[in-house]
Amino acid sequence: MRKLNGKLLKYNIAIFISGRGSNLQSIINYSLKNKTNYNVKIVISNKQKAKGLSIAKKNGIKNYFMNFTKSRKLGNLVLNDLKKNKIKLVCLAGFMRILPDYFIKSYNGKIINIHPSLLPKYKGLNTHKRVIKNKEKFTGCTVHYVNKYLDSGRIISQKKIKINSKDTEKTIEKKVLKIEHKIYPLTINKILTNL
Ligand code: GRF
């Protein structure tokens, strides 16, 4: 844990979202606990109506909508903002766009994502539907580094759950989301501990 004059110093992180923001909420909740080493400093959404923006607002966290993946000019504005705010880690939480190459390079190794499957299986969308169709016995979630390929960067952590015969897409989504909310904040904390 970093300290200055006996005071705990927290690393600033940014969260990118596109929608509901339940992972954002769990990351904020964890950051408010004792002895966590990060502080959610900025929340950026590429969708204007993302519910997650109001979660950020309610928690007094700087937040804004910017569809920055479409334009280099906007992308550079975001990068400058991240640097200005000393962001150590960017966490994608339900962010539904692939980040441009220049963006990933300039934050190299400092962008992570959570995906609702046991990667490398089931990259992309509709993971739970495909898991059921293929009669998988297990599924779960994965936190991984972001590279230029979809859901393909180095795996950092994973958590597994069992699928039973009564499970549906909905029940699996609920169970997986529950473990996402546990594993994501812990993984962020762990990465920053090792910085
Ligand atoms: C989560 O299932 C996450 O794994 C996936 O998108 C969903 C986002 O949910 N990438 P929320 O916006 O955090 O509630």
Ligand 1: centre distance to CA 3 (Å)? 33
User: How far apart are alpha carbons 191 and 186 in whole angstroms?
Assistant: 9
Task: Cis check for the bond before 120: say yes or no (omega within 30 of 0).
Answer: yes
Q: What atom in ligand 1 is closest to the CA of residue 24?
A: 13
Binding site membership of 20 for ligand 1 (Cβ less than 6 Å): yes
| 153 contacts 147 by C-beta, under 8 angstroms | yes
pLDDT at residue 1, as a whole number = 63
Q: Output the CA 113–ligand 1 centroid distance in Å.
A: 10
Question: Atom 1 in ligand 1: which residue has the minimum CA distance?
Answer: 94
Tokens 């950092």 belong to which residue? 156
Alpha-carbon 19 to chain mean position: 12
> What is d(CA 21, CA 18) in angstroms, rounded to the nearest whole number?
8
3-state SS of 72-125 is HHHHHHHHHHHHHCCEEEEEECCCCCCCCHHHHHHCCCCEEEEECCCCCCCCCC
pTM, to two decimals: 0.96
Which DSSP helix (H) or strand (E) runs through 52? helix 51-58
Question: What does the pLDDT profile of the chain (195 residues) look like in tens digits?
Answer: 667 677 778 999 999 999 999 999 999 999 999 789 999 999 999 999 999 999 999 999 999 999 999 999 999 999 999 999 999 999 999 999 999 999 999 988 899 999 999 999 999 999 999 999 999 999 999 999 999 999 999 999 999 999 999 999 999 999 999 999 999 999 999 999 988
What class does CATH assign to 2-193? alpha beta
Contact 142, 118 (CB under 8 A): yes
- Please report how the helices 22-31 and 169-193 are oriented relative to each other, as an axis angle in degrees rounded to 10: 40
The verdict on the CB of residue 140 being under 6 Å from ligand 1 is no
